[in-house]
Amino acid sequence: MAKKKLTIEEKLQAALVPAEEQPYKVPENWCWVKFSVTYDNVSSSKNKIKQKDYQNEGKFAIVDQGENLIGGYSNNEDIVYDGELPVIIFGDHTRRIKYVDFPFIQGADGVKVLQPKNYIVPRYYFFGLQSMQIPHMGYRRHFPILNKMGFPIAPIAEQSRIVARIESLFAKLDEAKEKIQEVLDGADLRRATILHQAFTGKLTEKWRKENSVDDKSWEFTSLGNICYINPKKIDTTNLDDNMKVSFIPMADVSDISGEVIGNQTRPLGEVKKGFTNFNEGDVVFAKITPCMENGKSAIIGKLKNNVGYGTTEFYVLRPKETLYNRYVYHLVRSKFFRDKAKSNMTGAVGQQRVPKKFMQEYEINLPSMPEQQEIVRLLDNLLSREQSTVTACEEALTTIDTLKKSILARAFRGELGTNDPTDPSAQKLLWEILSA
């Protein structure tokens, strides 16, 4: 029996989302339609498209593939054109939406290329997809659910106004984001400059003049001459093996803050052999890759029963009377020290370590104890302010991303101030198209 032909009214009702199922209210001259009626699936197995036809603006790909092979597109720059891959990815763990504006290789399994219907401006469709709350559940499980979701359709003229408004607002946010990112990108250089000035005496030039300290008062020596490197373990003969002591694994030293972030304890008997021993005030420095390069170093604070142990991948630096522990802490945390240590690493790839000889023979130009303390005071202040700047920038970037999401959400609720209630209704346009 031949399938009954639907009337225009029936087609319209099938395309519209019932009022009780609409996610939120939109302006009167808008309408909610089911996502399934917003596009032509131009990549179906029955309608293969030649690669050259994928170049047309306004087509979209929905992809769920691995990181290096994205629906048959390759991240290899020798294969694809420069720029972002022109895909919308709905994967199990990620979602990326890109507008197609340059050629790409025909996709493999899991690819869908969508072309918006002629009552939808392509860039409006692109932003609309970004605004949708689409769950991550993989392509094959995902698409039937996606097709049942609603999509808000504004009048054609309003769609173009919304696109223009979004792009104008996004351009301003992107400009701000670029400037903030420039500040972030310069953070490492600023820190390096501050530390270089500290350890070459430039930072305390004024202090020396005010305190009548000779510029030639600094003395060259080696790290091994001014601190004990991996000093002898404490004598535990008369200590109870059940006594709780502090234990610091590598994971409990933050490479961001340069502090011990854990508070573990273990019985002395479990750790007194096979682990590194340290005292309060010692500086620990990670000697293995990549922890060393990442800056895992800390000053040991209060210890349980004044006894501490940790990973054998720490060097323990215990300053002698001429060295301030916070001074050597800032030294070994500095990028120029870590870069020098990295160039002297030995061992197999992936298990390289800084040799003890490097630590012992590292040459240091050492100021007096009062000047070390002044340097540390200035460093703590300057680096704290620098970290505050970085934190503020990171928060600002997050705010910008949140603002973009808010703009998209408002745009597809008709809340950007662009809607003209006198525009012909979207539902009327849809009726006319279905009638054609």
Task: Quote the pLDDT of residue 118.
Answer: 83
3-state secondary structure of 267: strand
pLDDT average, residue stretch 285-299: 95
Residue carrying the six token digits 């808000």: 152
**What is the pLDDT, as a whole number, of residue 373?**
97
| Candidate CATH numbers 3.30.70.141, 3.90.220.20, 3.30.70.1060, 3.20.20.70; the one for domain 219-366 | 3.90.220.20
Is the pLDDT at 109 greater than 60? The verdict is no
Compute the half-sphere exposure of residue 310: CA atoms within 13 Å on the CB side of its CA: 30
The whole-angstrom separation of Cα 245 and Cα 264 is 8
pLDDT score recorded for residue 291: 94
Segment 334-354, tens digit of pLDDT: 999 999 999 999 998 778 999
Q: Which tens digits make up the pLDDT trace of 316-330?
A: 999 999 999 999 999
Range with the lowest mean pLDDT among 125-134, 266-275, 301-310, 414-423? 125-134
- Residue 17 banded pLDDT, cuts 50, 70, 90: very high
Residue in this structure with the two tokens 């012909």, named with its chain if needed: 424
Give rounded-to-5 percent helix, strand, coil for the chain.
Answer: 45, 15, 40
Compute the average pLDDT of residues 70-74.
37
Q: Shortest CA distance to 166 belongs to which of 114, 126, 133? A: 126
Query: Is 62 or 7 the better-scoring residue by pLDDT?
Result: 7
Q: Which of 29-43, 92-106, 268-282, 407-421 is least confident?
A: 92-106
Instruction: Show the tokens assigned to 383.
Output: 């680096």
- Does 70 or 11 have the greater pLDDT score? 11
As a whole number, mean pLDDT of residues 211-222 equals: 94
pLDDT of residue 307: 96
Coil, helix or strand at residue 425 = coil
Question: What's the rounded Cα separation, in Å, for the pair 349 and 309?
Answer: 27
348 Rama sector, left if φ>0, alpha if ψ -120 to 50, beta otherwise: beta
- pLDDT at position 163 is 94
Average pLDDT over all residues of the chain: 84
The alpha-helical segments, DSSP class H, found in 132-282 are 139-148, 156-185, 187-199, 205-210, 223-226, 268-271
pLDDT digits (tens, 9 = 90+) for 110-168: 456 667 888 888 888 888 888 887 655 455 566 677 788 899 999 999 999 999 999 99
| Tens-digit pLDDT profile for residues 218-255 | 999 999 999 999 999 999 999 999 999 999 999 999 99
Is the pLDDT at 84 greater than 50? The verdict is no
Instruction: Specify the pLDDT at position 6.
Output: 79
pLDDT at 112: 60
What burial class does residue 384 get, using C-beta atoms within 10 Å of its C-beta: 0-12 exposed, 13-18 middle, 19+ buried?
exposed
Higher pLDDT, 188 or 142: 188
The predicted-structure confidence for 366-376, as pLDDT tens digits, reads as follows 999 999 999 99
- 101 or 282, which is more confident? 282
- What is the model's pLDDT at position 432? 85
CA 382 to chain centre: 25
Write the CB contacts of 7 (distance below 8 Å, at least 6 apart in sequence).
Answer: none
Q: What is the mean pLDDT of residues 167-191?
A: 96
Under 8 Å between Cβ of 107 and 43 = yes
Which one, of 119, 5, 116, lies nearest residue 62 by Cα? Answer: 116
Average pLDDT over residues 17-30: 93
**DSSP element (H, E) containing 117:** none
Task: Judge whether residue 418 has pLDDT over 90.
Answer: yes
**Cα 133 to Cα 410: distance, rounded to the nearest angstrom:** 14
Q: With 60 as the cut, is the pLDDT of residue 92 above it?
A: no
| Residue 53 scores a pLDDT above 50 | no
Per-residue pLDDT at 421 exceeds 80: yes
Q: Count other C-beta atoms under 10 Å from residue 14's C-beta.
A: 13
Compute and round to an integer the Cα radius of gyration of the chain: 32
Between CA 274 and CA 306 the distance in angstroms is 19
Give dist(CA 67, CA 64) in Å, integer: 9
Specify the pLDDT at position 134: 64
Element counts in the chain: helices (H) and strands (E): 14, 19
The whole-angstrom separation of Cα 192 and Cα 339 is 12
pLDDT reported for residue 357: 96
The secondary structure element, H or E, covering residue 430 is helix 426-435
Distances (CA, A) of 364 to 40, 227, 327, 332, 367: 70, 12, 11, 11, 10
User: Which of 68-72, 113-117, 247-251, 406-410 has the least mean pLDDT?
Assistant: 68-72
Q: What is the pLDDT of residue 78?
A: 39
DSSP 25: -
C-beta separation of 88 from 94 below 8 A: no
Q: What are the residues facing 318 on neighbouring strands?
A: 228
Q: What is the pLDDT of residue 219?
A: 95
